[in-house]
Chains A and B, each alone.
Chain A
Amino acid sequence: MQKIYSKPKSLRNVKTHYCPGCGHGIIHRIICEVIDELDIREETIAIAPVGCSVIAYDYWDFDVSEAAHGRAPAVATGIKRVHPDKFVFTYQGDGDLASIGTAEIIHTANRGENISVIFVNNAVYGMTGGQMAPTTVEKQKTKTTPLGRDFKLHGFSFKITEMLSVLEPVVYLERCSVHNPVSINKTKRAIKKSFKIQLENKGFSLVEVVSPCPTYWKVTPVEAASWIENNMLKQYPLGVIKDVK
Chain B
Amino acid sequence: MTEKNRKKITENRKILMCGNEAVGEAAIVAGCKFYAGYPITPQNELTAYMSRRMPEEGRTFIQSESELAAINMVFGASAAGARAMTSSSSPGISLKQEGISYMAGAELPGVIINMMRAGPGLGNITPAQGDYFQATKGGGHGDYHIIVLAPASVQELFNLGIKAFDLADKYRTPVMVMGDGMLGQMMEPIEFQKTENRRQKTENKKNLSSDFYHQTFDKPWALTGCKGRKANVVKSLYLKEGALEDLNNRLQEKYKKISEEEVLFEEYNTEEADMVLVSYGTVSRICKSAAKKLISEEFKVGFLRPITLWPFPYKKINQLAKAGKKFFVVEMSSGQMLEDVILAVNGKSKVNFYGRMGGGIPEESVVFAKVKELLNAKNL
- A and B pair up: yes
Q: Residue of B at shortest CB range from A66? A: B235
B185 on the A face (CB < 8 A): no
Of B76-84, B121-129, B288-296, the one contacting chain A is B76-84
A65 on the B face (CB < 8 A): yes
Q: Residue of B at shortest CB range from A45? A: B223
How many residues in B have their beta carbons less than 8 Å from beta carbons of A? 41
B151 on the A face (CB < 8 A): no
- Rounded to whole angstroms, the CA-CA distance of A55 and B240 in the bound complex is 12
Cβ of A86 and Cβ of B79 under 8 Å apart? no
Q: Which of A54, A65, A106, A107 contacts B76 (CB 8 A)?
A: A65
Q: Residue of B at shortest CB range from A72? A: B72
Cβ of A83 and Cβ of B33 under 8 Å apart? no
Inter-chain contacts of A74 with B (CB < 8 A): 64, 68-70, 72-73, 75-76
Q: Residue of A at shortest CB range from B75? A: A75
User: Quick one: given A66-B106, A71-B99, A104-B72, are A78 and B223 in contact (CB under 8 Å)?
Assistant: no
Q: Which of A55, A61, A78, A80 contacts B75 (CB 8 A)?
A: A78
Which of A63-112 touch B at CB < 8 Å? 63-68, 71, 74-83, 86-87, 103-104, 106-107, 111
B239 on the A face (CB < 8 A): yes
Q: Which of B65, B68, B77, B235 contacts A78 (CB 8 A)?
A: B77
- Rounded to whole angstroms, the CA-CA distance of A65 and B81 in the bound complex is 12
Which of A201-219 touch B at CB < 8 Å? none
Interface size class, chain A = 35 or more
Cβ of B72 and Cβ of A67 under 8 Å apart? yes
- Rounded to whole angstroms, the CA-CA distance of A234 and B145 in the bound complex is 50
- Rounded to whole angstroms, the CA-CA distance of A17 and B33 in the bound complex is 38
Q: Residue of A at shortest CB range from B69? A: A74
Of A36-44, A132-140, A162-170, the one contacting chain B is A36-44
Cβ of A66 and Cβ of B66 under 8 Å apart? no
A57 on the B face (CB < 8 A): yes
Cβ of A68 and Cβ of B62 under 8 Å apart? no
A119 on the B face (CB < 8 A): no
B60 on the A face (CB < 8 A): yes
Q: Which of B68, B76, B106, B226 contacts A77 (CB 8 A)?
A: B76
A62 on the B face (CB < 8 A): yes
Inter-chain contacts of B36 with A (CB < 8 A): 78
- Rounded to whole angstroms, the CA-CA distance of A187 and B378 in the bound complex is 82
Inter-chain contacts of A106 with B (CB < 8 A): 65
Cβ of B76 and Cβ of A78 under 8 Å apart? yes
Inter-chain contacts of B228 with A (CB < 8 A): 42
- Rounded to whole angstroms, the CA-CA distance of A87 and B223 in the bound complex is 11
B231 on the A face (CB < 8 A): yes
Cβ of A44 and Cβ of B225 under 8 Å apart? yes
- Rounded to whole angstroms, the CA-CA distance of A83 and B80 in the bound complex is 7
Q: Residue of B at shortest CB range from A82? A: B80
Inter-chain contacts of B77 with A (CB < 8 A): 78-79, 81-82
Cβ of A63 and Cβ of B226 under 8 Å apart? yes
Among A43, A45, A62, residue most surrounded by chain B Cβ atoms (within 10 Å): A45
Cβ of A107 and Cβ of B65 under 8 Å apart? yes
- Rounded to whole angstroms, the CA-CA distance of A224 and B5 in the bound complex is 67
Q: Which of B64, B106, B231 contacts A107 (CB 8 A)?
A: B64
Q: Residue of A at shortest CB range from B70? A: A74
Q: Which of A41, A42, A66 contacts B234 (CB 8 A)?
A: A66
Among B33, B36, B80, B84, residue most surrounded by chain A Cβ atoms (within 10 Å): B80
B98 on the A face (CB < 8 A): yes
Q: Which of A62, A68, A103 contacts B231 (CB 8 A)?
A: A62
B232 on the A face (CB < 8 A): yes
Cβ of B237 and Cβ of A66 under 8 Å apart? yes
- Rounded to whole angstroms, the CA-CA distance of A63 and B224 in the bound complex is 7
Cβ of B231 and Cβ of A66 under 8 Å apart? no
- Rounded to whole angstroms, the CA-CA distance of A66 and B103 in the bound complex is 11
Inter-chain contacts of A54 with B (CB < 8 A): 237
Q: Which of A41, A57, A71 contacts B72 (CB 8 A)?
A: A71
- Rounded to whole angstroms, the CA-CA distance of A204 and B253 in the bound complex is 42
Which of B226-271 touch A at CB < 8 Å? 226-228, 231-237, 239
Cβ of A57 and Cβ of B233 under 8 Å apart? yes
User: Quick one: given A71-B99, A78-B34, A107-B65, are A63 and B76 in contact (CB under 8 Å)?
Assistant: no
Inter-chain contacts of B225 with A (CB < 8 A): 42-45, 62-63, 83, 86-87
Inter-chain contacts of A44 with B (CB < 8 A): 225-226
Cβ of B81 and Cβ of A82 under 8 Å apart? yes
- Rounded to whole angstroms, the CA-CA distance of A87 and B80 in the bound complex is 12
- CB of A26 to closest CB in B, whole Å: 21
Cβ of A55 and Cβ of B239 under 8 Å apart? yes
Q: Which of B60, B65, B98 contacts A103 (CB 8 A)?
A: B65
Among B84, B106, B231, B232, residue most surrounded by chain A Cβ atoms (within 10 Å): B231
- Rounded to whole angstroms, the CA-CA distance of A132 and B77 in the bound complex is 33
Cβ of A75 and Cβ of B227 under 8 Å apart? no
Cβ of B81 and Cβ of A78 under 8 Å apart? no
Inter-chain contacts of B235 with A (CB < 8 A): 48, 57, 64-66
User: Quick one: given A55-B237, A82-B82, A107-B69, are A77 and B62 in contact (CB under 8 Å)?
Assistant: yes
B74 on the A face (CB < 8 A): yes
Residues on A lying within 8 angstroms of B by beta carbon are: 41-45, 47-48, 54-55, 57, 60-68, 71, 74-83, 86-87, 103-104, 106-107, 111
**Supplied contacts A61-B231, A67-B102, A78-B79, 14 more A-B pairs, CB within 8 Å:** A42-B228, A45-B224, A62-B225, A63-B224, A64-B232, A66-B234, A68-B98, A76-B76, A77-B62, A77-B76, A79-B79, A81-B77, A82-B80, A104-B65
Q: List 24 A-B contacts (CB under 8 A).
A: A45-B223, A55-B239, A57-B233, A57-B235, A62-B226, A63-B224, A63-B226, A65-B76, A65-B233, A66-B233, A68-B72, A74-B64, A77-B62, A78-B34, A78-B36, A81-B34, A81-B60, A81-B77, A82-B76, A83-B223, A86-B224, A104-B68, A104-B69, A104-B72
